[in-house]
Chain A
Amino acid sequence: MFSRRNPQLNRHGELIHLLSIEGLPKAVLTQILDTAGTFLSVNDRDVKKVPLLRGKSVFNLFFENSTRTRTTFEIAAKRLSADVINLDIARSSTAKGESLLDTIANLSAMHADMFVVRHGESGAPYLIAQHCAPHVHVINAGDGRHAHPTQALLDMYTIRHFKGDFASLRVAIVGDIVHSRVARSDIHALTTLGVAEIRAVGPKTLVPADLAPMGVRVCHDMADGIRDADVIIMLRLQNERMSGAMLPSAGEFFKHFGLTADKLALAHPEAIVMHPGPINRGVEIDSTVADGVHSVILPQVTFGIAVRMAVMSTIAGNEA
Chain B
Amino acid sequence: MKLLVKGGRLIDPASGLDRIGDLAIAAGRVVALGEVSRDFTPERTINASGQVVAPGLVDLAARLREPGYEHEGMLESELAAAAAGGVTSLVCLPDTDPPLDEPGLVEMLKFRARKLSRCRLFPLGALTRGLAGETLTEMAELTEAGCVGFSQADAPMVNTLTLQRALQYAATFGFTVWLRPQDAWLGGGVAASGAVATRLGLSGVPVAAETVALHTLFELVRSTGARVHLCRLSSAAGVELLRQAKAEGLPVTADVSINSLHLTDVDVGFFNAAMRVTPPLRQQRDRDALQAALVDGTIDALVSDHTPVSSDEKTLPFGEATPGATGLELLLGLALSWGQQRKLTLAQTLARITSEPVRVLGAAIGPLASSAGRLVVGGVADVCIFEPEVRWAVRADALVSQGKHTPFAFDISGFELAGRVQTTLVAGGLAFERSAA
User: Which residues of A come within 8 Å of B, CB atoms?
Assistant: 1-4, 6-7, 22, 94, 99-101, 119, 121-124, 126-127, 131, 143-147, 178, 181, 184, 208, 210-211, 213-214
Chain B residues with CB under 8 Å of A181's CB are 201
Query: Is A123 a contact partner of B200 (Cβ separation < 8 A)?
Result: yes
Chain A residues with CB under 8 Å of B320's CB are 94, 121
Inter-chain CA distance A211–B199, complex, in Å, is 8
B47 at the interface (CB under 8 A from A): no
Question: In the complex, how many angstroms separate the beta carbon of B359 from the nearest chain A beta carbon?
Answer: 38
Segment among B80-88, B157-165, B409-417 that sits at the interface with chain A = B409-417
Query: Is A147 a contact partner of B201 (Cβ separation < 8 A)?
Result: yes
Query: Is B201 a contact partner of A126 (Cβ separation < 8 A)?
Result: no
Question: In the complex, how many angstroms separate the beta carbon of B207 from the nearest chain A beta carbon?
Answer: 12
Using CB atoms, name the residue of chain A closest to B198.
A210
Query: Is B270 a contact partner of A7 (Cβ separation < 8 A)?
Result: yes
B432 at the interface (CB under 8 A from A): no
B316 at the interface (CB under 8 A from A): yes
Known: A3-B413, A119-B317, A178-B198. 13 other contacts (CB 8 A): A1-B413, A3-B272, A99-B315, A121-B319, A123-B270, A123-B318, A126-B270, A127-B315, A144-B202, A181-B201, A210-B197, A213-B198, A214-B198
Using CB atoms, name the residue of chain A closest to B266.
A4
B69 at the interface (CB under 8 A from A): no
B39 at the interface (CB under 8 A from A): no
Among the listed A4, A6, A99, A122, which residue makes an inter-chain contact with B201, where contact means beta carbons less than 8 Å apart?
A: A122
Question: In the complex, how many angstroms separate the beta carbon of A106 from the nearest chain B beta carbon?
Answer: 15
Inter-chain CA distance A145–B200, complex, in Å, is 8
Assuming the A-B contacts A1-B414, A94-B320, A119-B317, are A126 and B271 also in contact, with contact meaning beta carbons closer than 8 angstroms in the complex?
yes
Query: Is B414 a contact partner of A100 (Cβ separation < 8 A)?
Result: no
Residue pairs across A and B with Cβ atoms less than 8 A apart, 12 shown, are A3-B412, A101-B315, A121-B317, A122-B317, A122-B318, A124-B317, A131-B315, A143-B201, A145-B201, A146-B200, A210-B195, A214-B199
Chain B residues with CB under 8 Å of A122's CB are 200-202, 271, 317-319
Question: In the complex, how many angstroms separate the beta carbon of B195 from the nearest chain A beta carbon?
Answer: 4
Inter-chain CA distance A152–B274, complex, in Å, is 29
Question: In the complex, how many angstroms separate the beta carbon of B421 from the nearest chain A beta carbon?
Answer: 26
Chain B residues with CB under 8 Å of A214's CB are 195, 198-199
B366 at the interface (CB under 8 A from A): no
Inter-chain CA distance A273–B412, complex, in Å, is 44
Chain B residues with CB under 8 Å of A127's CB are 271, 273, 315-317
Among the listed B193, B201, B204, B269, which residue makes an inter-chain contact with A144, where contact means beta carbons less than 8 Å apart?
A: B201
Query: Is B271 a contact partner of A94 (Cβ separation < 8 A)?
Result: no
Question: DSSP majority for the B interface?
Answer: loop
Question: In the complex, how many angstroms separate the beta carbon of B412 from the nearest chain A beta carbon?
Answer: 5
Inter-chain CA distance A254–B316, complex, in Å, is 38
Query: Is B201 a contact partner of A146 (Cβ separation < 8 A)?
Result: yes
Assuming the A-B contacts A99-B312, A122-B202, A124-B317, are A1 and B195 also in contact, with contact meaning beta carbons closer than 8 angstroms in the complex?
no
A-B contacts at CB below 8 angstroms, number? 84
Chain B residues with CB under 8 Å of A124's CB are 317
List of 7 A-B pairs having minimum Cβ-Cβ separation, nearest first: A123-B271, A145-B201, A146-B201, A121-B317, A3-B269, A210-B198, A124-B317
Query: Is A1 a contact partner of B317 (Cβ separation < 8 A)?
Result: no
Chain A residues with CB under 8 Å of B272's CB are 3
B194 at the interface (CB under 8 A from A): yes
Interface size in chain B (residues, C-beta < 8 A):
29
Question: In the complex, how many angstroms separate the beta carbon of A128 from the nearest chain B beta carbon?
Answer: 9
Chain B residues with CB under 8 Å of A213's CB are 195, 198-199
Inter-chain CA distance A256–B265, complex, in Å, is 35
Question: In the complex, how many angstroms separate the beta carbon of B432 from the nearest chain A beta carbon?
Answer: 31
Chain A residues with CB under 8 Å of B267's CB are 3
Inter-chain CA distance A253–B197, complex, in Å, is 26
Question: In the complex, how many angstroms separate the beta carbon of B390 from the nearest chain A beta carbon?
Answer: 22
Using CB atoms, name the residue of chain B closest to A180.
B201
Inter-chain CA distance A144–B198, complex, in Å, is 12
Inter-chain CA distance A123–B203, complex, in Å, is 12
Chain A residues with CB under 8 Å of B411's CB are 2
Chain B residues with CB under 8 Å of A178's CB are 198
Chain B residues with CB under 8 Å of A146's CB are 200-202
Inter-chain CA distance A201–B353, complex, in Å, is 49
Give B79-100 as 1s and 0s: 1 = Cβ < 8 Å from A's Cβ atoms: 0000000000000000000000
Among the listed B200, B202, B316, which residue makes an inter-chain contact with A100, where contact means beta carbons less than 8 Å apart?
A: B316
Query: Is A144 a contact partner of B319 (Cβ separation < 8 A)?
Result: yes
Inter-chain CA distance A94–B412, complex, in Å, is 24
Inter-chain CA distance A147–B198, complex, in Å, is 11
Inter-chain CA distance A100–B195, complex, in Å, is 28
Question: In the complex, how many angstroms separate the beta carbon of B351 from the nearest chain A beta carbon?
Answer: 32
Chain B residues with CB under 8 Å of A2's CB are 411-412
Inter-chain CA distance A7–B270, complex, in Å, is 8
Give B3-21 as 1s and 0s: 1 = Cβ < 8 Å from A's Cβ atoms: 0000000000000000000
Question: In the complex, how many angstroms separate the beta carbon of B201 from the nearest chain A beta carbon?
Answer: 3
Using CB atoms, name the residue of chain B closest to A20.
B270
Inter-chain CA distance A4–B200, complex, in Å, is 14
Inter-chain CA distance A127–B202, complex, in Å, is 15
Question: In the complex, how many angstroms separate the beta carbon of B310 from the nearest chain A beta carbon?
Answer: 12
Chain B residues with CB under 8 Å of A94's CB are 316, 320
Inter-chain CA distance A181–B269, complex, in Å, is 18
Chain A residues with CB under 8 Å of B413's CB are 1, 3
Chain A residues with CB under 8 Å of B197's CB are 210
Residue among A1, A22, A119, A147 having the largest count of chain B Cβ atoms under 10 Å = A1
Inter-chain CA distance A127–B319, complex, in Å, is 12
Question: In the complex, how many angstroms separate the beta carbon of B269 from the nearest chain A beta carbon?
Answer: 4
Inter-chain CA distance A50–B312, complex, in Å, is 42
Question: In the complex, how many angstroms separate the beta carbon of B73 from the nearest chain A beta carbon?
Answer: 19
Query: Is A100 a contact partner of B317 (Cβ separation < 8 A)?
Result: yes
Give B182-216 as 1s and 0s: 1 = Cβ < 8 Å from A's Cβ atoms: 00000000000111011111111000000000000
Using CB atoms, name the residue of chain A closest to B193.
A210
Inter-chain CA distance A189–B320, complex, in Å, is 28
Question: In the complex, how many angstroms separate the beta carbon of A100 from the nearest chain B beta carbon?
Answer: 7
